[in-house]
Each structure stands twice: as structure tokens, then as C-alpha cells.
Amino acid sequence: MAERIPIASDHAGYELKQHLSRALRELGYEVEDLGTNSPASTDYPDYAHPLAEKVESGEVKRGVLLCGTGLGMSYAANRHPGVRAAVAWAPEIAALARQHNDANVLVLPARFVSEEDGVQILKTWLETPFEGGRHQKRVDKIEASGHEHSGDK
């Protein structure tokens, strides 16, 4: 069975979302489009939170968000426990986000990447495994509350 990947954007990411949804289907993934459904102005948290909830609950392993800079979507998604939403503007950033941070939500800055670059970033993120090892300790510390992560434990 194909992995289901939810994808969502605000108005700034709408066109690139449509393009990446097609690319995901061509790569053999099941796409769950959580909106927006037009380029009309919308609020990014309305799309980031539902996608992040699916990752947080374990309903899906990973998801893709898009907005103008990627920043708003990442702020909202990263408020959810267990979600590691990474803004990636180049394939190398997407690879490092997976290798070192086990990023489970890819956030694309739609106003700053071309369709072609967006597809390359997406493919790299999908295909790159988490390296674990010394990085696992660091990822674990992301989920720790403020008083639990002082110093090297």
C-alpha cells in the first residue's frame, strides 16, 4: 500500500502545492490534499495545524507544507509534540533536515523556489533516511521540556 502524505498550503503556496501533489502521485504516493483550494487569501495556521495533528497522532509518518517563506507554517507545525517541521530551500537542506534532525514535515518557501527546485527538494527529503546515532540524542532533546535538557546528558 502506498504511503499517504498530506500536503497543505496557504494562498502563497497554492500553485506549487498543486505541482508537488502531482509529483507525489507520479512517485507512487497517496496524496491527501488538506487545502487551500485556490489562490484566494488564507491564514497559514488553518492549514498547518490539521496537517501537524496527523503527524503528531501517528496517523501519517510525514507531511508537506507550503507558504510564502515557509516560516509561518513551520512555526505553527512545530508547536505540535513530535513534529519536526523543517524549512528547506535547497535539496542539501532537505537532506540534512532528514539525516540530522529526522524532519517529518517538509516546509517549502513557495515564493523562493521554482517548481523544478521544489520537486528536487521534495524528492531528496522523501529519499533521505535519518542517520540516528549521535543525532538521535539531539532529536530526543527537542522533545524534552526546558528543565530537562540543560548540559550534555
Q: For residue 10, say whether it is annotated as part of any ligand binding site.
A: yes
**Helices 134-143 and 91-101: angle between axes, nearest 10 degrees:** 80
Catalytic site residue 49? no
Q: For residue 104, say whether it is annotated as part of any ligand binding site.
A: no
Given the residues 67, 80, 135, 147, the one annotated as active site: 67
Catalytic site residue 67? yes
CA 6 to chain centre: 10
Q: Which amino acid is at 23?
A: A
Of 49, 64, 57, residue with least CA distance to 122 = 64
Q: For residue 108, say whether it is annotated as part of any ligand binding site.
A: no
Q: For residue 98, say whether it is annotated as part of any ligand binding site.
A: no
The C-alpha atoms of residue 29 and residue 52 are separated, in whole angstroms, by 18
Given the residues 49, 100, 135, 149, the one annotated as active site: 100
* Binding-site sequence positions for D-ribulose 5-phosphate: 10-11, 68-72, 101, 111, 134, 138
Binding residues: 10-11, 68-72, 101, 111, 134, 138
Active site residue ranges: 67, 100
